[in-house]
């Protein structure tokens, strides 16, 4: 599916940009200490960006097969139960990530509605980092759904 491929690529690109942002903010903080200036809310911004890059990377990493899996246990099972165990684990992961996505989107909208701001020196609206994390877990849930649907095309 071209749409999913584009969505995963977009998440990879955004995660990369957030990683570069973390690097630049922390580098500016280190250089600033030597030159006598402070980057306001540097650690807070780096923390938000780190959360965003982790969650944005979940879906593409799953699709690339980069997540740690219980392959050792699955390979010891016969083909029929192995497929059932894989489907069950994907379904449970999908349920948990979909629930997490719904809760995060709800929290994002609540933060936007009330105008919540980060408590640091920089008054960053909290809905921005929340939306990035919510997008990431939503794409992860979509990747889990895709992986689950692919198992129904396989025979034990």
Site of tokens 């919540």: 116
- Integer Cα distance of 62 and 143 in angstroms: 7
As beta bridge partners, residue 117 has: 125
pTM metric for this prediction: 0.90
Mean pLDDT for the chain overall: 91
Ranges of each domain in the chain? 2-151
Per-residue confidence (pLDDT) for residue 19, from 0 to 100? 97
Cα within 13 Å of Cα(40), Cβ side = 7
Read off the pLDDT of each residue in 144-150 and give the average, rounded to a whole number: 94
CB under 8 Å, gap of 24 or more: what pairs does 81-84 form? 82/156, 83/151, 83/154, 83/156
Average pLDDT over residues 105-111: 97
């Amino acid at each position: 599916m071209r749409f999913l491929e584009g969505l995963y690529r977009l998440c990879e690109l955004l995660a990369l940009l957030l990683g570069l942002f973390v690097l630049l903010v922390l580098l500016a903080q280190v250089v600033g200490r030597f030159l006598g200036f402070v980057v306001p809310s540097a650690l807070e911004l780096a923390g938000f960006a780190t959360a965003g890059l982790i969650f944005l990377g979940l879906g593409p990493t799953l699709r690339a097969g980069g997540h740690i899996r219980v392959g050792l246990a699955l390979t010891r099972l016969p083909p029929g139960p192995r497929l059932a165990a894989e489907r069950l684990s994907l379904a449970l992961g999908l349920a948990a990530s979909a629930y997490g996505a719904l809760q995060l989107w709800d929290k994002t909208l609540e933060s936007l509605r009330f105008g919540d701001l980060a408590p640091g020196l920089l008054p960053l609206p909290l809905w921005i980092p929340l939306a990035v994390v919510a997008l990431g877990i939503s794409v992860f849930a979509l990747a889990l759904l895709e992986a689950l649907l692919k198992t129904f095309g396989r025979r034990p």
